[in-house]
Structure 1
Amino acid sequence: MHGLVNVLVIVAVIALVLIRQCSAQQISGDRRWWVLPVVLLVVALREPGLVDPRHEALSMVVLSAELAVGLVTGAGWAWTTRLRHARDGTLWGTGTRATAYVWCVGLALRAGLYGLATAMGIHQGGPALMMALAVTLLARSGVLARRGAEIPKPGSGSGEDMPSRPIWKDRV
């Protein structure tokens, strides 16, 4: 039953993230951007099957590659998100075409890693996928939080309101 619950959690998180990514979303300025990824990491670490006991070393190599792909995908996702401040000072982010490309490349790399692991006889379960998803979300949230803090709010600095369009750095 744990495997089914893990799959449902993974599908729910991916669906939530994709739905939020396809539309403009307010990016909160709170310091809790890391909570969901850390919860996913804890759940993944508590589940058995993170590492294939028959192929521990190779399984760790594949898991490390999966986490590296997740880290790069999350950072690329965040860097390709268009950020802007609304006139009321709230920060908004919208995915771009480049964001979709980052997602597609990340999914293709993950599918390739999964296929390679299967061909080598390494079993990768839900915990590995959940951990990679957590790393992806953690990288994305961290980069977005940093980028959002660097963008000046409307009315700050020169005394004029910032235009509602993204600044040059956010275009990809």
Structure 2
Amino acid sequence: MDYMPMSLVVLFAVIFVVYRQMKTRPTAKRGILYTAAVMIVVGVVTGGLIDGRHLALSLGLLVVEAVVAVALGVWRAATVRVWLDDSGIAWSRATGWTLLAWLASIATRVGLYFAGQALGLTSSPSGVLLFVGLTIGAQAYLVARRGRALTGTGRQPDTVVR
């Protein structure tokens, strides 16, 4: 699999996701969860996630990347504002903190890539797809869950770091 086209696809996907998160949207929409699931499946199915020459080391790094991807998604989800409108529909909108958390997520993924290179591991674009799918999926799931928790409760907008 060629790195450049895959990198561009992932880059445009992340830009699109961040752009959409910055707009006010109903939390009940599930399209992003399906997108994340497809990215995860394609990342796993296309292979190249494990370097057979350094099995234990590459498995360890893969686990670290997966845990970090989910943790970053959890962090970003906590920065998203979620509230109910007058009709009881849950809405969400990313904040400036979400954008900063995205930048930290990208920097972390780049750092993990270079850590793998420094350890002598071969990398694959599949790892990027898996990481992005996991981090987007975790964030989208948690934001939707917060929206579901608010639905019908009549609570005021929850407080989030802004």
Query: Which stretches of structure 1, 4 residues or more, deviate above 3 A after TM superposition?
Result: 1-5
> Deviation at 1:42?
1.2
Alignment of 1:90-105 (within 5 A): 90-105=89-104
Matched-pair contact (CA < 8 Å) for 1:44–1:131? yes
Match of 1:34, SS state, is: helix
Greater Cα shift, 50-59 or 72-81? 50-59
Gap regions ≥5 residues in structure 1: none
Percent identical across equivalent pairs?
A: 27
Alignment of 1:129-168 (within 5 A): 129-153=128-152, 166-168=157-159
Using the size of structure 1 for normalisation, the TM-score is 0.81
1:82 has 2:81 as partner = yes
- The higher relative CO (CA closer than 8 Å, separation ≥ 6) is in 2
1:32-88: per-residue Cα shift (whole Å, max 9, x none)? 663222111111111131112222221111111111111011111111100112223
1:48–1:116 Cα change, 3 Å: same
Could you say what the CA RMSD is over the residues aligned between the two structures, in angstroms? 2.3
1:117–1:29 Cα change, 3 Å: closer
1:118 has 2:98 as partner = no
1:4-41: per-residue Cα shift (whole Å, max 9, x none)? 443243123212111112222232255x6632221111
Using the size of structure 2 for normalisation, the TM-score is 0.85
Counterparts of 2:96 and 2:37, CA distance in 1: 28
Counterparts of 1:171 and 1:18, CA distance in 2: 18
Greater Cα shift, 89-98 or 36-45? 89-98
Gap regions ≥5 residues in structure 2: none
Q: Which structure shows the bigger proportion of residues in helix conformation?
A: 2
Quick check: which has more Rg, 1 or 2?
1
